[in-house]
Amino acid sequence: MGKRILITGGAGFIGSHLSRELEQAGHFVRILDNFSAQVHGSRPERHDTLAEVQVGDVRNREHVKLALNGIDIVFHFAASVGVGQSMYEVRSYIDNNNLGTATLLQALITEKSPAIERLVVASSMSIYGEGLYVTAEGTVIDKARREVRDLERHDWEPKGPGGLPISPRPTPETKRPELASVYALSKFDQEQMCLMLGAAYKIPTVALRFFNVYGPGQALSNPYTGVMAIFASRILNGHSPVVYEDGLQKRDFVHVSDVARACHLAMQSSQAAGHVINIGSGIQYTILEIAERMARAMMRPTIRPELTGKCRIGDVRHCFADISLARKLLGFEPRITLSDGLRELTDWLSRQRAIDKTKEANAELLSRGLAI
């Protein structure tokens, strides 16, 4: 028998894909979304699934109470997203992410009938700050940092004790958080509030730390969204993808359909409750490689990345996922290779238009001293 499921922020990129995944499995899906103009542009209240759509705000107690009526399972995805923007839109990020989560949790523990069977909260790899590193001797370094003076002279790599070189490794959930942005702080608060109150009120709760999610449906005109969508917007408009530092920073890119499936598994797995779990591809790529592969896949091979030689405050050098725990607790295995994912993405991009706002977003960071 199908479950009755609420997805807050369900009209967004990942939420839309999850909605379709759950509908195809025979579940009833309700979406609560405020259709933010930054994400949805000039097409408010548009959604292409069969889900019941409730236009509202997760910070509004009455909206949340109405959305929870008759619900068995909650996916909490409503949040403002963007490392750079969070460093100057501080109140907005804390309001949307922290207060929104608090409002939802207050409703969950106040409106006790029927009891929620599972709460799954979207968290982020940004919580880790720098990923895991090791020294040449194999000593684990889980608190790597970069000094401003090093960044100013374009010395991009973090150093170990005594300035010794260190090498990045896949980052597991046991790595201690290093919160380098207001966005990261807010996501950490979201996941910890959900896990804390879930344990206290016996609501089985799972926090999924998403790495760099890409795929069709991502907001192309939002300059604070995922890096692939930002690159795509630039290339669609005939502009070079803007790459910070030297482009050799490493990330993990995971297809949105794999993420939606992982979310579905998190809803079903009895072993997952009470855990934070990385959701990524388990494969590392440099940002420069992604920019070059995007241009080739979009049949624009002459468009070369623009290396700025600047670093944004809050950015990290290397962070990519160890997905061993997702394999163990969820039975999760990524299915979409980067090559296949790029083919699907570029097919979708061929039918899209994008307003490139990257220049304005970067200028905002520079004017506030948030890029060096």
The pLDDT tens digits for 178-202 are 999 999 999 999 999 999 999 999 9
User: pTM to 2 decimals?
Assistant: 0.95
For 209-220, what is each residue's pLDDT tens digit? 999 999 999 988
Taking CA atoms, 296 is separated from 133, 289, 292, 301, in Å, by 32, 11, 6, 5
CB 130 within 8 A of CB 145: yes
**Mean pLDDT score of the chain, rounded to an integer?**
93
* Count of Cβ atoms closer than 10 Å to residue 240 Cβ: 16
Specify the residue for token string 């939802």.
104
pLDDT of residue 273 exceeding 90: yes
- What percent of the chain is modeled with pLDDT above 90? 80
pLDDT category at 358 given cuts 50, 70, 90 is confident
Among 93, 128, 133, 183, the active-site one is 183
CATH topology of domain 4-367: Rossmann fold (3.40.50)
Q: What is the pLDDT of residues 146-163, one digit of tens each?
A: 988 899 999 999 998 888
Q: Is the pLDDT of residue 40 over 80?
A: no
| Closest among 172, 257, 171 to 215, alpha carbons compared | 257
Closest CA to 12 of 229, 328, 269: 229
List, in sequence order, every beta strand (DSSP E) within 101-199: 118-124, 132-135, 140-141, 166-169
Report which of residues 279 and 315 the model is more confident about: 279
Confidence check: pLDDT of 45 > 50: no
Phi-psi region of 161 (alpha: psi -120 to 50; beta: other; left: phi over 0): beta
> According to the model, what pLDDT value does residue 176 have?
93
Residue 183 is among the residues annotated as catalytic for this protein: yes
Q: What is the pLDDT of residues 228-249, one digit of tens each?
A: 999 999 999 999 999 999 999 9
Q: Per-domain residue ranges for the chain? A: 4-367
46 falls in which pLDDT band (50, 70, 90)?
very low
What are 74's strand-pairing partners?
A: 6, 119
Instruction: Give the pLDDT mean for 23-42.
Output: 87
Asked if the model's pLDDT at residue 204 lies above 70, the reply is yes
Q: pLDDT of 343-356, one tens digit each?
A: 999 999 999 988 88
The answer to whether residue 43 scores a pLDDT higher than 60 is no
Q: What integer pLDDT is reported at residue 163 of this predicted model? A: 87
> Model confidence over 62-79: pLDDT tens digits?
999 999 999 999 999 999
Q: Which residues of 271-300 are buried (b: 16+ CB within 10 A; e: fewer)?
A: ebbebbbbbbbbebbbbbbbbbbbbebbeb
Q: Which amino acid is at 324?
A: S
Question: Looking at residue 153, what is its pLDDT?
Answer: 93
